[in-house]
Structure 1
């Protein structure tokens, strides 16, 4: 029996989630860069090369934020080449699976176009920034565009969306929890967590 298409489920949840309840963020740079600290600490202890590649990708993502480069698959692909140490990072060519096969992300003729449309919404000023960052993170997680490294791509996307508006979280470790496509409360909770991390430095 074919597993439910969790990407289709996410797109329904995405529309139903009340993103407007997300907390407002304070636009002030912090002295502590949580992403860099996470790479230098837990990631480096696990794998020094992985940490170095992540930091290289993060440098690109931050520079792209400063330039206000449009967030699209080409941008994510450039970061992912750094993350994986490869020359090309293409969109997947078949269904993808995660969580030991319990979530399946389908691939149709519209998947890439739908992903592009979702990414464009990351700069919608009518939606709270915390919600946009959380939603973009989950978009990458559940569209699962790459054959490998999607969790890292999702986190890079989140910090990029925040950096476009001069927000750097002092911690990113708490964001590293499992998220499910059929969990609207969890989606809203991610936006709330971003707000909590933003306030924790004040």
Structure 2
């Protein structure tokens, strides 16, 4: 039996989550870039090549945030080429699966257009930055646009959205927890976690 389409479920949940309760974030300088520290620490210890690729992608994502480049699939694909060490990172051409097949992300003629619309919302200002960053992270996770490396793409997207607001989290490792497409409370809690990490100082 085919698993339910978790992407469709996410798009419904996305509209139900209480994004407006996301905490305000501080724009005070931090002495530590949590993404860089994560790459140079645990990622490097596991796989130095993976760490170097992630750092190159991170540099691009931060530079693109500084120049306020439009957040679209082409931008994500440019980071993903660095992440995977490839010359191209096309949008997937089939349904995608995660969590040992328990979540299926369907592909329809509208999937890429829907993803583009969601990415555009990440830079609109009707919601607090923590909410927009959390929502964009989950959009990438559940649209699952690439054949590989979507968790890394989601984290880079979160970093980019916050970077556009001059916000750098001093820690990102706690963000690396399993998220489910059918969990509106969990989606809102991710925005709350971003607020908690934003207040940490090293």
TM-score by length of 1: 0.99
Determine the C-alpha separation between the residues in 1 that align with 2:59 and 2:93.
28
Is 1:50 matched with 2:50? yes
After superposition, residues 50-69 of structure 1 pair within 5 angstroms as 50-69=50-69
Secondary structure in 2 matching 1:104 = strand
After superposition, residues 1-202 of structure 1 pair within 5 angstroms as 1-201=1-201
Determine the C-alpha separation between the residues in 1 that align with 2:59 and 2:112.
26
Contact in 1 for aligned 2:31/2:201 (Cα 8 Å): no
Aligned residues: 202
* Structure 1 residue runs of 4 or more that deviate by more than 4 Å after TM superposition: none
Secondary structure in 2 matching 1:123 = coil
Question: Displacement, 1:200?
Answer: 1.6
Determine the C-alpha separation between the residues in 2 that align with 1:28 and 1:122.
22
Determine the C-alpha separation between the residues in 2 that align with 1:50 and 1:29.
28
Secondary structure in 1 matching 2:153 = helix
**Structure 2: stretches of 5+ with no match in the other structure:** none
Determine the C-alpha separation between the residues in 1 that align with 2:60 and 2:43.
18
What RMSD over aligned residues (CA atoms) do the two structures have, in Å? 0.8
Determine the C-alpha separation between the residues in 2 that align with 1:13 and 1:29.
34
Secondary structure in 1 matching 2:7 = helix
Determine the C-alpha separation between the residues in 1 that align with 2:21 and 2:124.
15
**Structure 1: stretches of 5+ with no match in the other structure:** none
Determine the C-alpha separation between the residues in 2 that align with 1:121 and 1:20.
14
Determine the C-alpha separation between the residues in 2 that align with 1:146 and 1:104.
14
For residues 86-128 of structure 1, the C-alpha deviation after alignment (integer angstroms, 9 at most, x for no partner) is 0000000010000000000000000000000000000111101
